[in-house]
Chain A
Amino acid sequence: MDGKARVKRYSALRIIKEGLSGHKGWQPAWRDATPKPAYDVIVIGGGGHGLATAYYLASIHGIKNVALLEKGWIGGGNSGRNTTIVRSNYSIEGNTAFYEHSLKLWEGLSQELNYNVMFSQRGHLSLFFTPGQRDALARRYNIMRLNGIDGEFLNRDQVQKMVPHLNYSEDSRFPIMGGFLQPRAGTARHDAVNWGYARAASALGVDIIQNCEVTGFIHEGGKIQGVETNRGEIRAEKIGMAVAGSTSLLAKMAGLGKLPIESHKLQAFVSEPIKPFLDTVLVYSAYNGHFYISQSDKGGMVFGGDLDGYNSYAQQGNLPIYTDVAGCAMNVMPALGRVKILRQWAGIMDMSMDGSPFIAKTDIDGLYLNAGWCYGGFKAIPGSGWCFAHTIANDAPHEINSPLTLDRFRQGRQIDESGHGPFPKAH
């Protein structure tokens, strides 16, 4: 591939060399390709999941004649709209192995991609406030330990030692009882993940085609044969969809019919940059509250809460959640009271009917589905791409994603982590 020869490795030596020559030798990280008439595989969706899928198809399975189609620009959807939390503290079969696999891939990702994704294992601390919450987290802790996933159970004093500036006052409305920590969890730089996968995939020969919107699917003899786009017809016998937020729209276009998914919007917020203040990911869930916060490397406090609550494709948040999230922040971390919120935005989530995702074959030959990521798509990016690439390359799921099928609802084997029944609102 001509692209492959041109990509130079990033290294300390290279920085020195480029520095001495006036930084004139740096090149774009990936080729902005124009579509060819046909490929072996088309991946629709240039977010983290699609980019990772394209990368693993090329790097593990040797399928390098791949087109990645993105309607806008890569990483401009949910991959650029999340709170960048990475964790694997799950307790239900189907989720545990998958998210732990993903976390392990995160741990080696910067080296593998030769791109610093700024994965910082600063820990993920879920606070608890009631005996009921404590017992539920203790159960989760035990299941995780049995599955070989790290976890630590902290009492109130240990939490106070770790994060001293929370609301520990005697008269706080919801006194902190303790916390559950996953030390290997943390955060990563969302743009770097997209760009790193894009660069590595492009170097292996994957065509990354931006501003290319799929407008239809080409079916011939009951099989999928390609897509129609605003940049012309592109053919391939295998097509993977990783378009969370718009999954129902594309599924309808492809002839898959209704899916067990609703599109909802989830807001995120970032404050003005402040000095180092919080060195872990903190989750607050007193009674009906829901709030998670971490501090970015630039110093901004990055936080979010619940869904806005009603079906939406608008990518614009609404005020009641703004108030709710600010209320939670003041309850657990009153020191934030004078910090100004800099920006707020919303992404459109694929909310599945049990809170768990899909990485599966579909009823249509040659069409594969990656969808239903609910609140938690970011942490899943490496694992999702890895499993989806395996599923596409072998026309069969890997053992790890074999439970994440589309027809699990028909068979009554939902993966309902929170145990709350068929509502598209789970985390």
Chain B
Amino acid sequence: MLRIECPFCGLRNHDEFTYLEDGSGEMPALDNIDGEAWYEAVFLRDNPRGMHIEDWHHTQGCRMVLRVSRNTLTHQILSVMPAHPDYKEMFSDSAKSANSAPKSAKAKSAKDGRG
């Protein structure tokens, strides 16, 4: 079982997630009519033996799409981030406080509630 540290839900078994696809590429802009660009983005894969950037959907958790860096040979997971740029920014600004930020916000509101 792979164990994925979801930034929203914590450490979870990978069978809570649906593997989506290689997350390293960017799709061309929708108004791009260059067939070659679409061919490369849709069909071609780097397929590394080593670090791989990929998207996992937390289907049985928060339902967020996560961008995971994982080694395809050892299955070691190096980082887990939300795939959506807005959320990503929230977590990547200060990587160390990524997990503590929402927790402390929660703690604060709990305190406020009690107070």
Contact = CB atoms under 8 A, between A and B. Distances in A.
Interface of A: 246, 248-249, 257-263, 309-314, 318-320, 353, 409-410, 422-424
B49 to A, nearest CB: 4
A409 B41 CA distance: 11
B2 interface: yes
B72 A263 contact: yes
A259 B19 contact: no
Majority DSSP secondary structure for residues of B touching A: mixed
Contacts, number: 68
Majority DSSP secondary structure for residues of A touching B: loop
A37 to B, nearest CB: 30
A43 to B, nearest CB: 22
B49 A313 contact: yes
A262 B49 CA distance: 10
B34 interface: no
Given A314-B75, A318-B1, A258 B19 contact: no
Interface of B: 1-2, 14-15, 19, 21-22, 35-36, 39-40, 42-49, 52, 54, 70, 72-75
22 contacts: A246-B49, A259-B45, A261-B47, A262-B45, A263-B47, A263-B72, A310-B14, A310-B19, A310-B70, A311-B54, A311-B72, A312-B72, A313-B49, A313-B73, A314-B73, A318-B1, A318-B2, A319-B1, A353-B42, A409-B39, A410-B35, A424-B45
A312 B39 CA distance: 24
A320 B1 contact: yes
B24 to A, nearest CB: 11
Given A309-B19, A314-B73, A319-B1, A258 B46 contact: yes
Nearest to A414: B43
Contacts of B54: 310-311
A57 B45 CA distance: 31
A261 B45 contact: yes
Which has the most chain A C-beta neighbours within 10 Å: B19, B54, B72, B73? B72
Contacts of A320: 1, 14-15
Contacts of A258: 40, 44-47
Nearest to A422: B42
